[in-house]
């Protein structure tokens, strides 16, 4: 009886296998008007901010690097002795200014000051020398920014040496929860001769974690250092949409590009939002 049962199962299995082969054969040689449902191609042309890295490409990295350079800061005490150094991301605001977080300025009464500030060259600057920046200016406690003047000639006209271009502000008001975020990371490799070769690397940094309804001036992202520039991807093309204003161990709060534009306006730098109230 058991052998009969096994034989029946074998016959059924052979029948099902034969039916599957016949079905595939029929599909392969069906009439010309027979079509399979098409697989929808990935859209990288919808004009909206991307939710993931599907549209990420080499140009994404180049576009972020175009307008970000490391700022190397040397701190000294009242006797001009070096007490520390720091590297932070610098946003190329114009050929006159580079902007970063105000938290780079030592607290009043600390006896420490910024003795030197350099805007460091990266490989894409093709051997151009780093820029020795002027003293920090236009510190804004409310927005958390400070600007460093870039080199000027003897007539006070801009004379930058790096090939960086001024940043383009994106429409942060469009950024919503789950939009992909990428950030630049600064790497500096001090040499024995005192030179400071540097590079800017672009990394995914998760997604917008929370955004209140309406055109709010802030949104939440994963925890990252204060002063980190934030880029969203529109069909793979990065747009500067925010700046980390405060941070905790679990999340960071970023102010929008529209608020960054208000700071740029104080520096007399034109922005796409100049006509907005």
Residue range 209-257, pLDDT digits in tens? 988 666 678 999 999 999 999 999 999 999 999 999 999 999 999 999 9
Give the helix ranges, DSSP H, for 37-109. 58-65
* 120 close to 196: Cβ distance less than 8 angstroms: yes
Residue whose tokens read 């009242």: 78
**Distance (Å, whole) CA 250 – CA 36:** 47
- Using alpha carbons only, give the angle 18, 22, 24 rounded to the nearest 5 degrees: 120
Average confidence score pLDDT of the chain = 84
- Tokens (6 digits) for 64: 């972020």
Report the run of H or E that residue 7 belongs to, with start and end: helix 2-28
pLDDT in tens, 161-209: 999 999 988 888 788 889 999 999 999 999 999 899 999 999 999 999 9
- Closest among 75, 69, 107, 64 to 202, alpha carbons compared: 64
What percentage of residues in the chain have a pLDDT greater than 70?
A: 82
Kindly report the pTM of this predicted structure. Answer: 0.81
CATH level 3 topology of 58-266 = Thrombin, subunit H (2.40.10)
Beta bridge partners of 86: 73
């Amino acid at each position: 009886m058991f052998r009969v049962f096994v034989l029946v199962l074998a016959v059924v299995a052979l029948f099902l296998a034969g039916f599957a082969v016949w079905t595939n054969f029929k599909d392969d040689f069906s009439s010309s008007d027979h079509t399979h449902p098409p697989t929808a191609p990935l859209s990288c042309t919808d004009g909206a901010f991307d939710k993931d890295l599907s549209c990420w490409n080499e140009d994404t990295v180049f576009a972020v690097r175009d307008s970000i350079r490391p700022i190397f800061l040397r701190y000294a005490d009242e006797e001009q002795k070096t007490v520390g150094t720091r590297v932070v991301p610098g946003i190329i605001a114009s050929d006159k200014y580079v902007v970063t977080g105000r938290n780079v300025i030592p607290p009043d009464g600390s006896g420490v000051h910024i003795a030197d500030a350099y805007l460091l060259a990266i490989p894409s600057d093709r051997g151009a020398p780093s820029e020795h920046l002027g003293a920090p200016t236009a510190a804004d406690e409310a927005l958390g920014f400070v600007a460093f003047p870039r080199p000027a000639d003897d007539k006070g006209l801009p004379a930058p040496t790096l090939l960086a271009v001024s940043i383009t502000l994106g429409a942060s008001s469009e950024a919503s929860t789950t939009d992909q975020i990428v950030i630049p990371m600064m790497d500096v490799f001090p040499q024995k001769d005192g030179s400071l070769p540097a590079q800017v690397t672009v990394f995914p940094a998760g997604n917008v974690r929370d955004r209140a309804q309406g055109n709010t001036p802030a949104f939440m992202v994963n925890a990252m250092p204060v002063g980190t520039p934030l880029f969203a991807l529109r069909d793979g093309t990065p747009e500067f949409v925010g700046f980390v204003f405060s941070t905790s161990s679990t999340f960071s709060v970023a102010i929008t590009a529209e608020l960054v534009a208000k700071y740029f306006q104080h520096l007399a730098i034109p922005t796409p939002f100049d006509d907005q109230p």
